[in-house]
Structure 1
Amino acid sequence: MTTRFTALAATASILASVALSPSVTGQDGPLVDPVTANPSGPPAGAGAGPPDTVFDDTWLNIGFGAAYSPSYAGSDDYIINPLPVVQGSIGGVDIAPRPAGLALDFVKDTESGPQIAFGPVFRIRNDRANRIKDPVVELAGELDTAVELGASGAVSISGLTNPFDSLSIGADVRWDVAGAHGGMTIDPSITFSTPVNRGTLVSLSLGATYVSDDFAEYYFSVSPAQAAASGLPQFNAQGGITSLSATTLVGVDLDGNALNGGLNAVLIGGYSRLQGDAAETPFTSIRGSRDQFFVGAGLGYAF
């Protein structure tokens, strides 16, 4: 691939996945550039010519982080979750982390112009399958773990404010194949990323989540049996837009030069507001909050 990858953005993508793990927030959507999670080209100040970098061919960035976020989508109880993630490029196929999953990009980058990404995506969703801190919600019973498969696509352009920034618009579409919620989710997002110097990246992402009726019924409805067990009122949920989110992050290469790989760190924070029946369900409106916050931090190593 001709796009220059940086350790900063790789770690940023990893920590975005940490913060959006289903056991952390229960929400979806990549927080960083859906194409590569990187600004196009080497970091600012890298020089006029294309230097050799650790990201020129096959590379991996191994990261580990922790996030402090709601125990389920709509909860006002917060927990700490660790999550290791791998990102890289092998044999011309880019690997990008997703919340409890990953996406593959089989489209080769071009030397100039918009970059297009497309490939399969999967994630494991264990929202309310474990670690339910609210005792009333716990009485309603644990849910099954979903395995979601689908497709990821995005378009990215660079050079809006400097030669190395990136603006990306994309979406993931997935269906549950494990027989848990049995529905569909769509996660559109728009992300702007830019290096501020040779070793520092900043990024801002806006996202949303749309779910089918089957998904909403499984996670947001309160059945007669659940109502009897928990004391919550019955509720019948329908699909639609379930969340709107904004996330910002700062990535730092620890030796000040993102081109040579090595250790990198990231700080990330975000806010999402639940919408529709995701906000109106008693799991949120009575026992939790539609306002969802998270913070995260972590380290990665690129080679």
Structure 2
Amino acid sequence: MNHAILRASIGAALLLAAAPALAQDPGNEPRAPESPAAPAEAAIPAGSVFEGDWVTLGAGAALIASYDGSDDYVLSPLPLLQGRLGGVSINPRAAGLALDLIPDRTGATGFSLGVAARLNRNRADQIEDEVVRAYGELDTAIEVGPTVGVTFPGVLHGFDSLSISADVLWDVAGAHEGMTINPSITYFTPVSRGAAVSLSLSARHVDDSYADYYYSVGAAPAGLATGEALAAFTAEGGFDKLGANILAGIDFDGDLTNGGLAGFAIGGYSRMLGDAADTPFTRVRGSADQFFLALGVGYTF
């Protein structure tokens, strides 16, 4: 998993740390099954920091693969900004943000529609493998596009939820000049008033331009030692990654509803697929199996 994808997971974890134990983010609060017509105020504890505008600021550190398909791991800092201001939800994305422009009624199925933007720095820095590094660092991509999703509250009990979303992003910085489709599904549940967990499944589909930029192997660079050159490889688009992670957040004063300081932990696994797994950058110099671990804190006010 690269730095960008992990930042999105970190953001999701801090969302857990910021979410009320008796009601989720005010855009998508669950309702009690026995009273589906209850007013919005009934779903949010009185005095909750999530009743109006709120912001979460956070930071963490993660042990992650040095590039997509690497078997070397590096430590990376991970910032976070999240919240709701003036009816617009600000949600973390892979090294970026997404804005949800649709306010949702408390206790009802929630819909999201907006714009997402992020940086993709895969193989732009921190390349630990000397052979892969010899093939050159790549440019940073700036990916922008629409995001859409739906959240179903009260799936197994009154306070959990199931969310399905997808971002469709295009590079506007002239790096890979391609498009990615990023679907995900997340189950969230509080486990007490002061702690919550989620399980997420995600995938990524890339077009030919993206695959060629990151996974194709050209002529061996000058100066590479004899026997270290990688075989030429031409990559095509398709699903390049499938992953799962488990996230946990805990409030340090035992009450997620009042904001303040909270901590998170994440463990995850992803598998490179298709040409992303077959490229010599992965098959010869790295591994299709990708693991990560992250810890951090967030403050909600």
TM-score interval, smaller chain: 0.7 to 0.9
Instruction: Provide TM-score, normalisation by structure 2.
Output: 0.87
Shift of 1:224: 2.1
Instruction: Provide TM-score, normalisation by structure 1.
Output: 0.86
- Structure 1: where are the runs of 5+ without partners? 1-18
Q: Does 1:64 align with 2:31?
A: no
Q: How does 1:204-223 map to 2 (within 5 A)?
A: 204-223=199-218
Q: Does 1:81 align with 2:76?
A: yes
Instruction: Out of 48-57 and 104-113, give the one that drifted further.
Output: 48-57
- Structure 2: where are the runs of 5+ without partners? 25-31, 33-41
Instruction: Out of 131-140 and 108-117, give the one that drifted further.
Output: 108-117
Distance 1:61 1:134 in 2: 36
* Contact kept in structure 1, 2:189 and 2:196, CA below 8 Å: yes
Higher-Rg structure is 2
* Contact kept in structure 1, 2:2 and 2:122, CA below 8 Å: no
CA RMSD of aligned residues (A): 2.6
Q: How many residues of Structure 1 are paired with residues of Structure 2 in the alignment?
A: 280
Q: Which residue of 1 aligns with 2:185?
A: 190
Identity of aligned residues (%): 49
Q: How does 1:151-162 map to 2 (within 5 A)?
A: 151-162=146-157
Q: Secondary structure at the match of 2:51?
A: coil
Shift of 1:225: 4.9
Give deviations 1:122-143, integer Å, cap 9, x for gaps: 0011111111100000100110
Q: Which residue of 2 aligns with 1:278?
A: 276
Q: How does 1:77-226 map to 2 (within 5 A)?
A: 77-226=72-221
Distance 1:45 1:143 in 2: 43
Distance 2:11 2:66 in 1: 26
**Counterpart selection for 1:245 from 243, 246, 269:** 243
Give deviations 1:22-78, integer Å, cap 9, x for gaps: 3xxxx47954998x9569x84149997632211211111110001101000000000
Q: 1:226 to 1:275 in 2, by over 3 A?
A: farther
Q: How does 1:22-61 map to 2 (within 5 A)?
A: 22=4, 27=5, 30-31=8-9, 37=15, 42-44=20-22, 50=44, 51-61=46-56
Q: Secondary structure at the match of 2:126?
A: coil
Q: Which residue of 1 aligns with 2:230?
A: 232
Distance 2:254 2:125 in 1: 40
Q: Which amino acid counterpart does residue 130 of structure 1 have in structure 2?
A: D
Q: Which ranges of 4 or more aligned residues in structure 1 deviate by more than 6 Å?
A: 45-49
Q: Secondary structure at the match of 2:132?
A: helix
Q: Secondary structure at the match of 2:50?
A: coil
Distance 1:178 1:45 in 2: 39
Q: 1:49 to 1:102 in 2, by over 3 A?
A: closer
Q: 1:271 to 1:78 in 2, by over 3 A?
A: same
* Contact kept in structure 1, 2:98 and 2:116, CA below 8 Å: yes
Give deviations 1:204-240, integer Å, cap 9, x for gaps: 0011010000000000000125598561110000000
Q: 1:202 to 1:28 in 2, by over 3 A?
A: closer
Q: Which residue of 2 aligns with 1:263?
A: 261
Give deviations 1:133-168, integer Å, cap 9, x for gaps: 000001001101100000111100111122110100
Q: 1:37 to 1:157 in 2, by over 3 A?
A: farther
Distance 1:199 1:248 in 2: 17
Q: Which amino acid counterpart does residue 72 of structure 1 have in structure 2?
A: Y
